A and B are shown apart, each in its own frame.
Chain A
Amino acid sequence: NAGVTQTPKFRILKIGQSMTLQCTQDMNHNYMYWYRQDPGMGLKLIYYSVGAGITDKGEVPNGYNVSRSTTEDFPLRLELAAPSQTSVYFCASSYRERNEQYFGPGTRLTVT
């Protein structure tokens, strides 16, 4: 099992550009999450999904969008990138019952 995979690993965007961060898991987990982590800060939940076709906002959803068309994939879309979105983005997944979340390797995004 590859677990949770994310692409790209690094990306530099100009202000106003858009991009999609990809996340795929092969553990057949129903629950998937997107977090951002700023230096010295904890993880902030952006969006989450409890199954294909179902998504919901977390603490910091503004400026982001998600979709969940399959169990495996949970892409995060940034529209009109802003410097405040410079961060490291982690995707995670879990079984519903135990909620032990397993993280992907992350995407380091810089918006200039």
Chain B
Amino acid sequence: QKEVEQNSGPLSVPEGAIASLNCTYSDRVSQSFFWYRQYSGKSPELIMSIYSNGDKEDGRFTAQLNKASQYVSLLIRDSQPSDSATYLCAVSTSSNDYKLSFGAGTTVTVRA
């Protein structure tokens, strides 16, 4: 089982809709969770971090964490063409000595 799995894409949504990205992880002691956005040919850019169960909102982005279900998600509200990118889920556990494990990414395309 992979340490971090993301729903396979690509995900195509119309402009103005909500894009929903999912991520599951295998290590129950995972403590820190991150979402990165990566435009084609560019480096990953941190957009959200979440450390405790529940929701965390930042502008049009909402991260949701459920440690019991080992599940973290990212919602993008009012999707814009500029949100078209690959989104990487990353998970850190104390047993990994602060290293991050990354999922393979979900590619999102927002249709104008």
Contacts and interface: CB of A to CB of B under 8 A. Distances in A.
Interface of A: 31, 33, 40-43, 45, 48, 50, 58, 90, 94, 96, 98-106
Interface of B: 4, 32, 34, 36, 42-46, 49, 88, 90, 92, 97-100, 102-105
Contacts of B43: 90, 103-106
Contacts of A33: 99
Contacts, number: 46
A12 to B, nearest CB: 17
Contact of B44 (A45, A48, A103): A103
A106 to B, nearest CB: 5
Contacts of A41: 104
Contacts of A58: 99
B85 to A, nearest CB: 14
B105 A45 contact: no
Nearest to A45: B99
Contact of A42 (B34, B88, B92, B97): B88
Closest 5 interchain pairs by CB?
A: A42-B102, A103-B43, A43-B102, A42-B104, A99-B98
Contacts of A100: 34, 46, 49
